Each structure stands twice: as C-alpha cells, then as structure tokens.
A and B are shown apart, each in its own frame.
Chain A
Amino acid sequence: EKWAATRAKYPPTTLALQHFDAAYGIQLGHLWPSVRAALLCERKYGALVNNFSDDDVLSDLQDQGCRDFISDTDLEVHLEQISAVGVEGESSDLSTKTSDISHQQLSPLQISRNIKCLVFPRGDITRFKPAKPDKFGLLGYYLMDAASVLPCLALDVQEGHNVLDLCAAPGGKTLTLLQTQCLGFLCVNDSSISRTLRLKRVLHSYTPKPFLSGDNLRITSFDGTKWGEIERDTFDRVLVDVPCTTDRHSLVEDDNNIFSRSRTGERRRLPQLQLELLLAGIEATHPGGEILYSTCTLSQTQNQSVVEQAIHLAQENHSIHLQVVDLKPLTHMFRKTFHFAPNLHLGEMVIPHLAANFGPIYMCKLKRLT
C-alpha cells in the first residue's frame, strides 16, 4: 500500500512524460534515454555574478570550487573554430556564408566580458547557497540555468545598443544583459502583470536605482505579439524568449502545469503564439539589427518549425528578409560546459546530461537584412 497511488491517475507531470517519450523518443533517438534521466534528476544552476554588488562574490564562489564558464574557454578553441566554420558552412538556403560570421561571433565575448556565470565542474553536484545582500541590500549573484546565459551572449549586444526583451519575466536574461553595462536603452516587457511585478522585484534586488531610471530602462506589460504595431524598426537587438512547454518544469511540478487537461488548448496554441511573438520581435528590429529566439523546450515544433515559419512569413507578409546567423562558433566555445544537440538544421540546443545538467535551451539567431 506504500506504493499505491494517492494522486490523480494521470497527474500533469505524468502526462508530460508520456508526451515527451512519444515526441522526443523520435526526435532525439538514442540520445533520449540519457536526456530523459537528466531531466528527471536535480538540475544544475549557474550563479550569475552581480557586478553591481559591493561584495567580492567572484572570489568567494571560486573558493568554493566554481569557475566562470564564460572565461573558461581556451584560445585554441577559438582558433580551431574559425577554421572549422570556414569548412563546414551549411548549404541550407536558410543559413548564410560563414566567414565573417566567425569574426562577428568572437566579439560578443569581448563586450560580454562583464557577464560572469559560475558553475561547479562537470559531475560535481554541489548546490549553491542562497545569495546574500551587500551593505546596500543588493544581492551578490542570481541563480539560474547556466545555459540561459547563452542566448544573452549570442545576442551580441554592443556599446549603446537599444535592446528589447520581449518576454522578460522573471528577469534572468534581463539581469544578464544589464551586467554588460553597455546598453543604450533597454525595454523590458512581459504580458503577465504578476510576473512583471516579480521581475521588478528581481531588478530592484540586483540593480542600483539609477540604472533602473526611465533614461535607461522601461518596463511594460504589453501583449508582445502586438509589438510590431507599437514600435516598428526600432531596436538593434531583440530577445524573444517565448513561453513554451518548459519541459523540465512540466516534469516535476503538478501545480500550474501546462500539461494539465484544463490547459490543453493553451498548450496547443503555443507554437502559434511563439510564431506571433517572434514575428513581432522581427518587426521591432531595425534593418541590420538582430533577433534571438529562445525557448526552454526540446520540442522541434516549438523551436525549428517556429523559426522556419517566421522567416517565411516575414518575407511573405512584411517583405522582411532574414538571414540565419550561425551559432556554431559560440557553442563550440562552450562545449566544455554544455552538451549541445548534434546536427540541428537550424539553431543550437543545449540538451541536459547528468554530468552537465543544464538546459534544455534552444536558440536561433536571425539578422534582419531589409
């Protein structure tokens, strides 16, 4: 009787697992059992160092055995990747010539030197302690999936850039972008009012007041799909971190689970919502600017398919021509820390692994040409 089910026969977490077994078993093939086990086990975190904090959290964390995964890449890898990219450039009509991309890709790590994210080494399951406030009340680090930093690095923000974070709450990626301290103006948006409040609380615990003033930052709660109507052709960089099936979360938490029967409709509509958000993000970018689409699901339907359709529809309906930016150089640089899905035809994806239990994070970068 110890094992008898006292819960509902098919709780949402079970439904999620059944769904993933069916979909990802096919999509990931022999990799699925390994990813599945990792998803069902305790995840790993990264500690995003808060540069605004007065405390020397960096050396404190290093003393505990962590390392900054962003600076922990050797030059050899950089050189290797440049030549590798030159040879293996993809031929799909979605992707583009790669020679100048590799140079472009090295630069974010110049500018993003200010972003530091510490992780415990591969296979180490030590947990981070909660961050402590400094004498001004600012917390020393923010705990998040270390793979969530990658979309921010890939976004490649430069000095003075105007940036839109279209779906920003609870704010992990916003905080990461703020660490660069080089942004011109940052627009932070999330359609959920309660989640936007949470985001504000997060920003206030990590950022000094002056940085949150109206001159630098605007926080809104609009429906992101309408952004094209609000502010077209405006931003240098747009982060479109869409709502998704949040695979890891859906497997452990029955409350508020997207796989609960009552949310079936909402779940089925996700790809459409994601497409509309990405299209809005594309419209909000000015020609020459760049868009980064990201999710925390493994689902091809919510990842590659959405991007493919967005590229197609942007061209058809808005005459916006987009170019896919190769992120191989970036993933290559961080292959020591993360497991990346092999042979994705579009974008890059961190897949969970027991020894490096980060992700899933999918990302695809687009450059707006017209």
Chain B
Amino acid sequence: GSDCILQSNHHGVTDLSGKHAAELSLRSLVNMGFTDSQAEQIYETVSKAKGASSAKHALSALSSLFALGLNASTVGKLLEKCPQLYTIKESQFQQRIGNLRRQGLGEGSLQRVVSHYPQILVVPMKKINNVGMFLREKCLFTVQQVTEILRDSPAIIEEDLGELEYKFQYVYFRMGVKQAEMVKSKLFRFTLNEVRSRHCFLERRGLYQTPDKKGQTLIVNPKLNSILTVDQDTFLAQVAKASAEEYDVFQRLMAREWQAEEHQENFEAVS
C-alpha cells in the first residue's frame, strides 16, 4: 500500500543530486504547508519529470500559485488536477495572470477561476483573448459580461469558436434569449446538446415558443435559468412536467435526428 511507496520515496531523496533538488526537498514542501502525502506526490512528480529545469519550474509554479493567495491545500489539489502547471516558466506565469487581470478578473475572481479551472494558466494568452474578443464582437456581450462568463465558465476558452457561435445563435435566435439572461443562467457551462435537448423537449410539448420579430410569444416561456441550472429531475417535474421515460426516449430520438442532419451537412459539403 501507500506505506511501501512512501518508504521507497524516502530512499529516493538521496538519489537526487544538484542544487534544485536540494531546494525542492520533502522537508521544504512540508514547510510550505503541504501535508506529507501531498509533499510526496509533488516530489515524485517533479523528480520523474525530465530536463534539468523541471525542479526550477516547479518551484516557480508553487511560488506563483502561493502569490495568488491560494493555500497549500488548494495548490496541492491544483497540481494534482493539472500537472502541466509544473512546466510553465515563471515569466509566462506572470504574463498570463496579468492577462487574466486585464480581462477583468479581480483578486477574488482570479483565485476562484484558477482553483476551479487551473488549465486557464496553461492555455496560451492568445486563445483567451480570442474568446474574449469573440464574445464581445460576435455575440455583443459587454466587457463586464465577458468577465463574468470567464469567471463562471472558464472552460469556454478551450471550446471551438465555430461551435460557440452556433450555441450563441441557437439561444439568441431560436430561444429568443438576450445576453444578460445568458450570463445569468451560466449558459456556457452547458453543451449545445444539453441546451438543445431541454429546449426542443419543451418546444415540442408546447411549452416554449420562439418569439416573433417583435419579441412576442403567445405563451410565457420559462426563463433560461430555470431550464438550465436545475438537475434533470427538477427540470422534468417543474418545467417540462414530463416523465423521465419520455425524456429518455426523446433524447435518443434527437441524437439520431441530429446525427442524420450532420451527415446530411457533411454530405452537402463534399458534394
């Protein structure tokens, strides 16, 4: 079990030589506030990494994360979740954090984003900036709203812009939902299929209508928030008023329909 690994790791300490290794000792990690097992893990990961600079990068990663005001327990979890953090150069780290600040993420938000989605520090700045620009220019979100989107749904930065645009247009045109409402209901946390499934289900049941040019509908549509931010049981019981069996069959039918549509589109694209 774990005891055994711990033992061998303790022996491993003496095998490591060089300046950086001395700085990144188990003891120093424990002194930084990591628990024994976290220290073990970090130590092991770094010593396994190839290249002379790995220990140096690890140290800079640790200090940068601490500098954000995160505590050792959080930092430990982040490194476990996202080991790529070890590979980032100190200067890069600073640039990226600075960039996130420029996107409007203040101290509290920055901490929250990094702890929920450490990958945000791994992704090139350009990509984040492109998403921000896309949201502002193509979807007409305000600067403030873009910040909120990044804070609430940081995974958006890894999404394909074409698909993002489709999702936005779907919700804007088909569902008639405005930007503020999208932000409020944390739209970008959900996949297009999740959004579409719930919306289409309501629509076919006669409980949702696309507003006309004047923005009017014959029925009162449920708020996007109440459709998306609830679990499936609540959605079915309170919004769709349908059984789980019906929704299950519906989703399978939709998956087949959409797949056929995609096939059709691909076919049209090549022919």
Contact = CB atoms under 8 A, between A and B. Distances in A.
B204 A41 contact: yes
Interface string B145-187: 0000000000000000000000001000110000000000000
A353 B246 contact: yes
Contact of B242 (A21, A34, A123, A125): A34
A33 B206 contact: yes
A34 B227 CA distance: 18
Interface residues of A, number: 17
Nearest to A39: B204
Contacts of A37: 201, 204-206, 242, 246, 250
A41 B205 contact: no
A68 to B, nearest CB: 22
Contact of B205 (A36, A123, A353): A36
B249 interface: yes
A34 B205 CA distance: 6
A32 B207 CA distance: 11
Interface string B221-254: 0000000000000000000011001101110110
Contacts of A36: 204-206
B101 interface: no
B249 A125 contact: yes
A355 B253 contact: no
Interface string B245-268: 110111011001100000000000
A125 B255 CA distance: 11
A41 B255 CA distance: 12
A54 interface: no
Interface of B: 169, 173-174, 201, 204-207, 210, 241-242, 245-246, 248-250, 252-253, 256-257
Contacts, number: 50
A354 B246 contact: yes
A136 interface: no
Nearest to A353: B246
7 contacts: A33-B205, A34-B205, A34-B246, A37-B206, A37-B246, A355-B246, A355-B249
A34 B202 CA distance: 10
Interface of A: 2-3, 21, 25, 32-34, 36-37, 40-42, 123, 125, 353-355
Contacts of A21: 206
B174 A354 contact: no
B14 to A, nearest CB: 63
Nearest to B166: A2
A77 B125 CA distance: 69
A29 B148 CA distance: 42
A274 to B, nearest CB: 27
B173 A2 contact: yes
Contacts of A354: 245-246, 249-250, 253
Given A32-B206, A37-B201, A123 B169 contact: no
Contacts of A32: 206
A32 B241 CA distance: 11
Identify the 9 closest CB pairs spanning chains A and B, nearest first: A33-B205, A37-B204, A3-B173, A354-B246, A40-B204, A354-B249, A37-B205, A36-B206, A355-B245
A43 to B, nearest CB: 10
A123 B173 CA distance: 32
A41 B253 contact: yes
Contacts of B204: 36-37, 40-41
Given A42-B257, A353-B246, A354-B245, 19 more contacts: A2-B169, A3-B174, A25-B206, A33-B205, A33-B241, A34-B242, A36-B205, A36-B206, A37-B201, A37-B204, A37-B205, A37-B206, A40-B204, A41-B204, A123-B248, A125-B252, A125-B256, A354-B250, A354-B253
